[in-house]
Structures are given as C-alpha cells and as structure tokens.
Homo-oligomer: A and B are copies of this chain.
Amino acid sequence: MSEVDYWRWLAVAVDEAKAGLAEGGIPIGAALIGADGQVLGSGHNRRVQDDDPSVHGETAAFRNAGRQRSYAGTTMVTTLSPCWYCSGLVRQFGIGRVIIGEARNFHGGHDWLAESGVEVVLLDDPECTRLMADFIEANPRLWYEDIGEDAQ
C-alpha cells in the first residue's frame, strides 16, 4: 500500500462524513480496510440520526464490516483522531494501522495507539479540518456531547 491508497481510503471516510452532515448529523466518517486494500465496511457517526451515542464513525465502520475472524492486516481510516472509545476498539481487535484525516480539532488516543504498536498515519487534510471546525463552531453543544465533555 502507498500514500495514494491512504488518500483513496480517506476519501471513503470523507464521503461518509459528508453523508452524515447531510442527514443533520455529526460529520465524522470512517472505513475499515481489509489486508487486500478493499473496503470491508464504512460508516459515520449516527448520534443524532438514531439517537444512539454508541455509534461513532469508527464503531459504525467496524459494525458494518460484520464479524471478522481476525483483524490482522486491517486499517481503520477516519476523518478525525479517534477518541478513547474508538482507540480502544482499534487496540482490542488488533487493527494494525490507523489513518487519520486530521487531529487539529480533536486529539484523541492515537499517540497511545502508536505506543502500543499500531501504525498511525496522520494525513492532516485541510478538507477534514474545515468540515469539523465549521461543524463545531455551529454546534458546540452537540460536539461536546459526542466526546462526553461539558460545552465550553
């Protein structure tokens, strides 16, 4: 896999984030990529759409990929640095690589993942950054709810 693949996978996550935004939701998307480079599943945050706090972009992608006997060689690509919940998911299931659109609006657990042996690639994509910054500015209460913090 090359950086061209990483950006192609990120585009899948960005499309999910935009779909979430169009539904009135929080624009965070993700995809789980198989060892062969194919998309096993993708999804986006559905807190607003389903009134379900358990569906972050990453957990949606993980769920939509269905049951896998092993996550060896898989990659999680996400538009935003994964929170502790989603970082824990990556670590528990042995997902070997995480590709992150941006970590400017939120710095989750990706350093912890790197320390535990996960390959972390931060693409620092301006489109992801703008999408999230605009959303947070317009919807601070919803955003802080999603990460379990009091609105600031």
Q: CA A89 – CA B56 in complex, angstroms?
A: 11
Q: Which residue of B lies closest to A94 (CB)?
A: B148
B51–A67 contact, CB under 8 A? yes
The stretch from A17-25, A58-66, A121-129, A130-138 touching chain B is A58-66
From B47, B67, B88, B93, give the contact of A89 (CB < 8 A). Answer: B88
By the criterion of a CB under 8 Å from any partner CB, how many residues of chain A are at the interface? 31
Q: Residue-by-residue, is A59-101 near B (CB-CB < 8 Å gives 1, otherwise 0)?
A: 1001100111111000000000001111111011110000000
From B52, B66, B88, B147, give the contact of A83 (CB < 8 A). Answer: B88
A63–B68 contact, CB under 8 A? no
Instruction: For residue A42, give the distance in angstroms from its CB to the closest CB of chain B.
Output: 14
Partner-B contacts on A (CB < 8 A):
47, 51-54, 59, 62-63, 66-71, 83-89, 91-94, 109, 145, 147-150
